[in-house]
Amino acid sequence: MKSKLSFRTKMVDAFVIAVASVVLVCWLMNLFFLKRYYMETKLESLEKAYRKINSSFGEEQQLNSDVSLFLEQISDNGRLSIVVINPYVKEDERYLYTTEYNEASLGRIAGAMQAYLELTNEPSDYKVLREIRERYTIYLMHDHQLDMDAIDLFGILDNGCFVFLRSSYQSIAEAAELSSRFLAMVGICVTMVGSILVGFIGGIFTRPIRRMSEIALRMSKLDFDAKYPVRSDDEIGVLGDSLNKMSSKLEETIRELKEANNELQKDIERKTEIDAMRTEFLSNVSHELKTPIALIQGYAEGLLDNINEDSESRKFYCEVIVDEADKMSKMVKKLLTLNQLEFGKDMVELNRFDIVEVLRSVLHATDILREQAGVTLYFREAEPVYVWADEYLVEEVITNYLSNAMNHVAKSKEIAVSLQKKGASVRISVYNTGEPIPEEELEKIWVKFYKVDKARTREYGGSGIGLSIVKAIMEGHHQKYGVMNHPGGVEFWFELEMVGENDEVGGDT
C-alpha cells in the first residue's frame, strides 16, 4: 500500500516525533536522576571543603589571617557553615573559627561532635551518607528548631582539631515537579513552533525536487544505472519513477559491458596462470635435470679420459650413465603426461570396467619387486565392482600409489590394498607401514616436484611428479582423493563413481 502523505508532511511528523522523544527522555532523567545528582554534588562539595581546610591548617593548631581569609572564601558567602574546634585548649578558646554565632547552635554542634568521637549511636534524625573512618562522617540531618534538612560533615583534621561543615539540603521533590512541568511546557512550545518552521522549510525543499524530477524525465533517453523502489506518490516517488525509466534503457548496455569485462578478466587470469606455470615448470625441470646431467657428464668425461682402464670400471661408468638417462627419460614422460592432463589435451574417456580386475592386474605386475624387497601384500579378493572412469588413467593412479608405497614401506614392510563402498562411490585405499607424513606436509605432497624426504627420494630415483599426476587425473574425473596418517603407517585413497543398476542394463560403453 503506497503512502499518499506529502514529503513535507513526513518531515513535520518526523520532527514532532524526534522532539517529543527528546523531551520525554529529559523528563524521565529529571524525574529519576535529578535528586541523586543533587545529593552527590552536595557530598562532593563537602569532601572538597574538608580537604582544603585540612591542607590549609597543616600541622598548626592556630588560626592566622591567611587561614581565616581562606575559610571565609570556601564558606561560599554563608551557604556553607564551618566550625573548627581545638580540643586541646581552654573551653572558652576552643572555637578557632566559626560561621555560627548562635550559642544554641554551637552547643548542638559540640554535642554531636562529642557523640561522633565517642562512637555512640547517632540520633534517629541522623542518616549516615558516607563514612571515612578516623577522618570524617557525613550525615543527612533534620534540624527541628530550624525545621530544615541539612548535610553535616563531622571530622578530625591532621593537626587534631575537630571540624564541622554544614550545607543546606532543601527538598527537591517540589523543585523536580516544577522542573518537569516547565520542561513539558517548553517541549510543547518548541514542538509547535518547530513544526511550523519545518513545514515551511519542507516546502522549500520539495520545489527543487520537483524540478529535478522534470529534468530526470527529460534525461530518460540517456544512460543511467539506477532503480528506485517507488513506495509513495509524493515528490520523491515521482523522481524515483523517472530514474527507473532512465536506468532501464541502460541496463542492457551495462550487462554487455560486464560480460565483456568478465571475459577479459578471465583471459588475463588465464594468461597469468600460464606464465606462472611456465616459470615454475622451467625452474623445477632445470633443478631436477641438473643432478642427472652432471652425473652423466662426469662419468662420460671419465670414460673419454680413460680414468679407469679396466673393463669392470668402464662397465660401472656406463651403467651409471644408462641409469641416470633412464631416470631422465621417465621424468620427462611423466612431465609430458602431467602437462597434457593439466592443460586438458587428453580428455577423460569414461568407460565401464571392473576396478577389482584392474587392481589385480597392477598388483600382479609388481610381484617380483615385492618379493625382492621382502614386502608382504594384503589384498582380499572381492566380487567385481564396476565403475565409470578412464581405465588407463585409473591404472596410472593405482600404479603411482603402489609405487609410492613400495618406496616408503618400512618397519614390518606391509602393504594393504582395500575397497570400500561409500554410497554411490567406491573408495580404493593403498596403505603401507612406515613413518607418517608430517601434518604440515600433507597438503604439499600433491605439488609438482615437492619431496618430503629429498635424500630418500633421490635414493630410489623419485621425481616428485607421481602424486601430481594423481591429483590431475582425479580432478579430471571430478572425484575425491587424499591421504591420511595412521599410527603405524600412511594411507592414500581415491574414489570412483560406481555403475548403478540402470547403468548396468546397458552393458559396457
Task: Give the pLDDT of residue 482.
Answer: 92
* 178 φ/ψ angles, rounded to the nearest 5 degrees: -65, -40
SS3 assignment for 438-507: CHHHCCCCCCCCCCCCHHHHHHHCCCCCHHHHHHHHHHHHCCCEEEEEECCEEEEEEEEEECCHHHHHCC
Nearest Cα residue to 109 out of 148, 57, 165: 165
Burial class of residue 466 in the structure, from the number of CB atoms within 10 Å of its CB (0-12 exposed, 13-18 middle, 19+ buried): buried
- Is the whole model's pTM more than 0.85, yes or no? no
* DSSP state letter for 221: G
Task: Give the pLDDT of residue 508.
Answer: 42
Sign (positive or negative) of CA dihedral 314, 317, 319, 322: negative
Retrieve residue 23's grid coordinates: 523531551
Task: Give the pLDDT of residue 86.
Answer: 82
Sign (positive or negative) of CA dihedral 144, 146, 147, 151: negative
The answer on pLDDT for 164 being more than 80 is yes
From CA 16, how far away is CA 10, in angstroms rounded? 10
Q: How far is CA 190 from the centre of its chain?
A: 46
Strand order across the 95-98 sheet: 95-98, 80-85, 162-168, 148-156, 136-143, 126-132
The answer to whether residue 166 sits within a structural domain is yes
Task: Give the pLDDT of residue 455.
Answer: 46
492 contacts 422 by C-beta, under 8 angstroms? no
Task: Give the pLDDT of residue 357.
Answer: 93
The answer to whether residue 152 sits within a structural domain is yes
Vertex 472 angle, CA 467 and 476, to 5°:
145
Task: Give the pLDDT of residue 188.
Answer: 81
* Of the residues 125, 151, 174, the one at which a domain ends: 174
Task: Give the pLDDT of residue 506.
Answer: 39
From CA 252, how far away is CA 235, in angstroms rounded? 28
Nearest Cα residue to 154 out of 142, 133, 136: 136
The answer to whether residue 425 sits within a structural domain is yes
Q: Which residues pair with 417 in a beta bridge?
A: 379, 430
Nearest Cα residue to 59 out of 159, 163, 160: 159
The answer to whether residue 222 sits within a structural domain is no
Task: Give the pLDDT of residue 456.
Answer: 45
Domains: count for the chain: 2
* 183 φ/ψ angles, rounded to the nearest 5 degrees: -65, -40
User: Do the bridges between strand 414-422 and strand 376-379 make them parallel or antiparallel, or are there none, so unpaired?
Assistant: parallel
The answer to whether residue 163 sits within a structural domain is yes
Q: What is the CA radius of gyration of the chain?
A: 49
The answer to whether residue 303 sits within a structural domain is no
The CATH number of the domain holding residue 375 is 3.30.565.10
Q: Which of 176-190, 324-338, 393-407 has the lowest mean pLDDT?
A: 324-338
For residue range 276-329, what is the model confidence (pLDDT) as tens digits?
A: 766 666 666 665 566 667 667 776 777 776 666 667 777 777 777 776 676 666
At residue 12, what is the residue type? V
Nearest Cα residue to 180 out of 23, 387, 342, 345: 23
At residue 473, what is the residue type? I
Range of 131-140, 172-181, 345-354, 448-457 with top mean pLDDT:
131-140
Quickly state the pLDDT bin for 208 (edges 50, 70, 90): low
Within 8 A by CB and 6+ apart from 15, the residues are 191, 194, 195, 198
* Of the residues 152, 174, 196, the one at which a domain ends: 174
The answer to whether residue 182 sits within a structural domain is no
Q: Chain-wide mean pLDDT for the chain?
A: 76
403's torsion region: left (phi>0), alpha (psi -120 to 50) or beta? alpha
Q: Which residues pair with 162 in a beta bridge?
A: 85, 156
Domain range for 35 is 7-174
- DSSP structure string for 137-202: EEEEEEETTTTEEEEEEEEE-TTS-EEEEEEE----HHHHHHHHHHHHHHHHHHHHHHHHHHHHHH
Q: How far is CA 490 from the centre of its chain?
A: 36
* Of the residues 125, 157, 174, the one at which a domain ends: 174
- The torsion of the CA quartet 344, 346, 352, 356, rounded to 10 degrees, works out to -100
Task: Give the pLDDT of residue 307.
Answer: 63
The answer to whether residue 329 sits within a structural domain is no
